[in-house]
């Protein structure tokens, strides 16, 4: 389901619709404002059909719509911040920086196409045909880039253009393999041990929700070949990834480039108040989305993963509902 805060954002919504039409995914389209028509939002979300697996919320300015939607459902909510003022940064921060318990996966500004791609990845967790289609789409990128390169050369190359000679280089094979226990559903990756507090929040929340995960440290810049090998080895064994990263979040982008599984990204606060981490994680190119959660928001990353599993897993839905009731009681009554 796609919900727009304003019908004036239809051009942004069209990007998502184009992807869903291409992938033959059924969708509903609604307009409801979190501020002007809160009861309408509540009615739509609370009474949506069980056929609805993912909700895409498109909003600008204060952009409270995704969070309001997330507060009324256990379905995964994907936010698309719209550029209206401040370059869309106001809407982006409103979408990502959600309170504990209401996780929202945020896309780049106006990147409704990536919201649709992420929705496809989520649905593909329980749809083998769609999963294979996504893999084929990813393989087609290489041919598309090759064609673009040829057209570029023809268009701008001058008399001094000369193709460099391809010289294959020998690489040292990586003998170490990544072994996961059979029950593992989520692989948590970080580039170093400096973000352990955020990782701890993720693992403890997943353990409470009875979701099996494992944690590994591998750098996308110091050992890119190892990261690629690890992802290829275990990609068919797990359901999704959670990537914890700071500074320039190359790790998250590298994981996304090697898989069609959902990748939940948690940017961490280091320099520049974490804005560098957040923006380099969230502003992904079309076709390779990162489900970006707020700064240091490990618990919400785990809860968003649980929302994905709860679509078709009744046990996870029960545990998630129980967790939310406990969370609300702790916050408001104790």
Q: Is position 18 within any domain?
A: yes
Are 42 and 114 found together in one domain?
yes
Task: Give the residue numbers spanning the domain of 277.
Answer: 186-316
pLDDT of residue 300: 97
pLDDT digits (tens, 9 = 90+) for 129-144: 999 999 999 888 888 9
The span from the first CA to the last CA of the chain, in angstroms, equals 36
Q: Based on the domain organization, do 204 and 119 belong to the same domain?
A: no
| pLDDT on residue 175 | 83
Residue finishing a domain among 105, 124, 143: 124
For residue 334, the model assigns a pLDDT of: 45
Same domain, yes or no, for 192 and 86? Answer: no
Q: In which residue ranges of the chain is pLDDT below 70? A: 329-334
Residue 137 · residue 259 · CB < 8 Å: no
Contact 64, 71 (CB under 8 A): no
Residue 181 lies in a domain: no
Q: What is the CATH number of the domain that holds 34?
A: 3.40.50.1970
Q: Which two tokens stand for residue 250?
A: 């190359």
Q: Is 81 exposed, middle or buried (0-12, 13-18, 19+ CB in 10 A)?
A: buried
Domain assignment present for residue 167? The answer is: no
The last residue of one of the domains, among 124, 142, 176, is: 124
Task: Answer whether residue 253 is part of any domain.
Answer: yes
Cα 237 from Cα 48, distance rounded (Å): 32
Domain count, the chain: 2
Radius of gyration of the chain (CA): 20
Evaluate whether residue 177 is within a structural domain: no
Q: What is the pLDDT of residue 330?
A: 63
Pairwise CA distance, residues 65 & 59, whole Å? 6
Residue 16: inside a domain: yes
pLDDT, one tens digit per residue, over 29-41 is 999 999 999 999 9
Within this chain, do residues 109 and 217 fall inside the same structural domain, yes or no? Answer: no
């Amino acid at each position: 389901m796609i919900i727009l805060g304003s019908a004036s954002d239809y051009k942004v919504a069209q990007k998502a619709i184009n992807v869903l039409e291409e992938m033959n995914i059924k969708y509903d389209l609604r307009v409801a404002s979190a501020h002007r028509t809160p009861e309408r939002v509540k009615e739509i979300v609370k009474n949506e059909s069980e056929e609805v697996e993912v909700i895409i919320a498109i909003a600008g300015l204060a952009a409270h719509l995704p969070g309001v939607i997330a507060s009324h459902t256990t379905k995964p909510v994907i936010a698309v911040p719209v550029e209206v003022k401040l370059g869309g940064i106001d809407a982006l921060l409103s979408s990502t920086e959600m309170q504990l318990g209401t996780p929202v996966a945020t896309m780049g500004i106006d990147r409704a196409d990536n919201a649709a791609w992420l929705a496809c990845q989520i649905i593909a967790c329980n749809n083998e045909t769609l999963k294979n289609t996504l893999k084929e789409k990813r393989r087609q990128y290489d041919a598309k880039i090759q064609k673009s390169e040829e057209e570029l050369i023809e268009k701008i190359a001058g008399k001094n253009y000369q193709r460099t000679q391809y010289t294959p280089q020998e690489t040292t094979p990586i003998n170490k393999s990544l072994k996961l226990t059979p029950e593992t559903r989520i692989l948590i990756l970080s580039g170093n041990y400096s973000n352990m507090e955020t990782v701890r929040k993720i693992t403890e929340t997943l353990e409470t929700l009875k979701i099996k995960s494992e944690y590994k440290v591998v750098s996308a810049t110091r050992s890119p070949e190892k990261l690629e090998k690890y992802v290829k080895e275990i990609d068919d064994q797990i359901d999704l990834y959670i990537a914890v990263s700071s500074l320039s979040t190359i790790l998250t982008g590298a994981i996304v480039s090697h898989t069609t599984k959902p990748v939940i990204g948690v940017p961490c606060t280091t320099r520049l108040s974490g804005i560098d981490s957040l923006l380099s994680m969230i502003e992904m190119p079309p076709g390779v989305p990162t489900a970006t959660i707020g700064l240091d928001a490990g618990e919400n990353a785990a809860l968003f993963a649980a929302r994905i599993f709860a679509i078709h897993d009744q046990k996870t839905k029960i545990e998630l509902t129980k967790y939310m009731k406990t969370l609300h009681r702790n916050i408001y009554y104790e």
